[in-house]
Structure 1
């Protein structure tokens, strides 16, 4: 088995933890598996180095300064493995085997990085490379970085390019949890989660795996997240399944838009629960939900629009904060899924602008961390789909 494992800053935050990491790496190597290691800076070293820069440093100088955290980690791990009789080598920018190449903006050059990563992979089994995470170099050999979460990106990207069977992210949480264990009682480990689910959680604050890293995962690459106290790298934690799809998709059947208005919706707890619960009890699937200043809109299939209208109307009669429900039928929805939306300013404009230029009315736009849904009149769906496809 070929494994790429990444040790986060917390998992290397002390001598004891470095010893634990070295033990787990040695066990995998001694069992006959091929393993490459990606190391983050110890603890909060990167933040401390950044805080020390109280002057106008060039990007190149800043990269050289913050690189010292990762450079220290790989040396410590290499020494710990040598003490255990494991043949290892630390690999950092400037090393002949260095794999990660970017342009001057820190954008990965995939062809060159893949070529170098595959060359490095051919040495696995004979030696354990310990690679600095987060860091990269441009084609001229100048230091660059991959940005926040760059060590995760290094690990999953190398796992992909080195044809690894598994990428294991070793961090300070026991995989993905049902809730923040520091806030909620009884939080449990989620044994499996999809890339789509995890990316949405990550973009909304769940610090498990950097969202940008997951764009390098495909169906064949197993990615797991384990706690640094979990000594066995090859078991436990949370398995991340699937791959993130880049696509433009249009629902084949038309939708109806049901808008419930109420003067105190924003200040009345439980309104959304009452309305969506009533639709659930009527076995009506809701495709999407949007909220306005004093309204809530549900999108459902046109075949159940009449039933849904009656269900919502019944709730209006029983709730004094709600005023009326109105229905608009024959609406199409076009969804754009992408991996980097939160980091790409103007994504919504790239959809809205061309549609407006074609004089297509936009009924609604609903966004999430990884998708944008545009609702347009059903009669305009084919033209709108072509416009959005051309934009992406």
Structure 2
């Protein structure tokens, strides 16, 4: 089995933790597995170095300084492996076998990086490479960085390009939890989660794996998150499934939007639950919800709109701080899904502006970390779909 194991800063935060990491790597090698290691800077070294740059420094000097955390980690971990009889070598930018290269735009040079990674993979039966995470080498041979969470990106990218069976992210949490164990009782480990679910959580504050790393995961590559105390690289934790796919999809049946207005929307706890429950009890599916300062809009199938309006009206007349309910029929929804959406500045404008140029009014937009839903008049749906598909393909 070929595995890329990434050890985060907390899992290398002390001599004892480096020993624990080396033990788990040595055990996996002894069992006959091919292991490549990606190491982050020990503890908070990178943040400390950044804070200490209180003087003017150009990007090249900053990158060299910041890289010292990872450079130290790989030397420590390589030495710990050697002490256990494991044939290991450390790699950093500037080495002949260094794999991660950027182009003139500062983006990963996929062709060159893939070729170097595959060459490195061919040597895994002989040695364990310990690779600095977060770092890259530009076309002139200077040190470059991959941005926040770059060690995760290094690991998943190399796992992909080295045709690995699995990437293991070793960190200070036991995989993905059902909730923050510091806040809620009974939080437990989630055995499996999809890339879309995880990316939405990541962009909403769950710091488990860098969202940028997941764009390198394909359907054949397993990615798992596990705790450094577990001690076994090949078991435990949470398995991340699937891959990001760019998809433009239009709902085949029209929707109606029902908007409830009133100051209770933001002033009375539970009002949204009451409104939603009235629809749920009638088995009316809510396709989407959008909220404003003093209103909330429910999108439901047009065939159930009249019934939904009656139910919501009953809630309005029993709640003094709700004003009214209105209905807008015959609405189409087009959804754009893609793992790279959050990394594309101006992506919303790039989709909406061509619609405006075609005199197509966008009734509503609902976004998440991995998707954009655009609501337009039903009669405009085909033209809107063609425009959006052309924009996404570009």
TM range (shorter): over 0.9
Aligned partners of 1:30, 1:338: CA distance in 2, in Å?
40
Checking the alignment, whether the CA contact within 8 Å between 1:256 and 1:329 is kept in structure 2 is: yes
Aligned partners of 2:345, 2:87: CA distance in 1, in Å?
46
TM-superposed CA distance for 1:164, in Å, is 0.6
Counterpart position of 1:25:
25
After superposing the two structures, state which structure 1 stretch, 258-267 or 288-297, moved more.
258-267
What is the DSSP-based 3-state SS (H/G/I as helix, E as strand, rest coil) of the residue aligned with 1:323? Answer: strand
Aligned partners of 1:230, 1:11: CA distance in 2, in Å?
11
Aligned length: 392
Checking the alignment, whether the CA contact within 8 Å between 2:284 and 2:300 is kept in structure 1 is: yes
What is the DSSP-based 3-state SS (H/G/I as helix, E as strand, rest coil) of the residue aligned with 1:334? Answer: strand
Aligned partners of 2:107, 2:340: CA distance in 1, in Å?
13
Q: Deviations over 1:184-216 (max 9, x none)?
A: 222111111110000000011100000000001
Aligned partners of 1:232, 1:69: CA distance in 2, in Å?
25
Checking the alignment, whether the CA contact within 8 Å between 1:104 and 1:144 is kept in structure 2 is: no
Q: Does 1:15 align with 2:15?
A: yes
Checking the alignment, whether the CA contact within 8 Å between 2:38 and 2:154 is kept in structure 1 is: yes
Aligned partners of 1:341, 1:46: CA distance in 2, in Å?
28
Q: Deviations over 1:26-81 (max 9, x none)?
A: 00000001010000000000011111111121111111111110000000010000
RMSD: 1.1
Checking the alignment, whether the CA contact within 8 Å between 2:196 and 2:339 is kept in structure 1 is: no
TM-superposed CA distance for 1:139, in Å, is 2.2
What is the DSSP-based 3-state SS (H/G/I as helix, E as strand, rest coil) of the residue aligned with 1:29? Answer: helix
Q: Does 1:158 align with 2:158?
A: yes
Aligned partners of 2:98, 2:381: CA distance in 1, in Å?
49
Aligned partners of 2:242, 2:318: CA distance in 1, in Å?
44
TM-superposed CA distance for 1:110, in Å, is 1.1
Aligned partners of 2:251, 2:352: CA distance in 1, in Å?
18
In the superposition, the TM-score normalised over structure 1's length comes to 0.98
Counterpart position of 2:253:
253
In the superposition, the TM-score normalised over structure 2's length comes to 0.97
Counterpart position of 1:308:
308
What are the residue-to-residue correspondences of 1:47-66 with 2, within 5 Å? 47-66=47-66
Counterpart position of 1:262:
262
After superposing the two structures, state which structure 1 stretch, 90-99 or 242-251, moved more.
242-251
Q: Deviations over 1:109-163 (max 9, x none)?
A: 1111111111110001110010000000012211111000000000001111111
Q: Which runs of 5+ in 2 are unaligned?
A: none
What are the residue-to-residue correspondences of 1:66-145 with 2, within 5 Å? 66-145=66-145
Extract structure 1 runs of 4+ deviating beyond 4 A: none
What is the DSSP-based 3-state SS (H/G/I as helix, E as strand, rest coil) of the residue aligned with 1:277? Answer: helix
Q: Does 1:183 align with 2:183?
A: yes
What is the DSSP-based 3-state SS (H/G/I as helix, E as strand, rest coil) of the residue aligned with 1:287? Answer: strand
TM-superposed CA distance for 1:104, in Å, is 4.6
Q: Deviations over 1:288-327 (max 9, x none)?
A: 1001221110011112212212221222222222222111
Counterpart position of 1:173:
173
What is the DSSP-based 3-state SS (H/G/I as helix, E as strand, rest coil) of the residue aligned with 1:376? Answer: strand
Counterpart position of 1:355:
355
Checking the alignment, whether the CA contact within 8 Å between 1:22 and 1:81 is kept in structure 2 is: yes
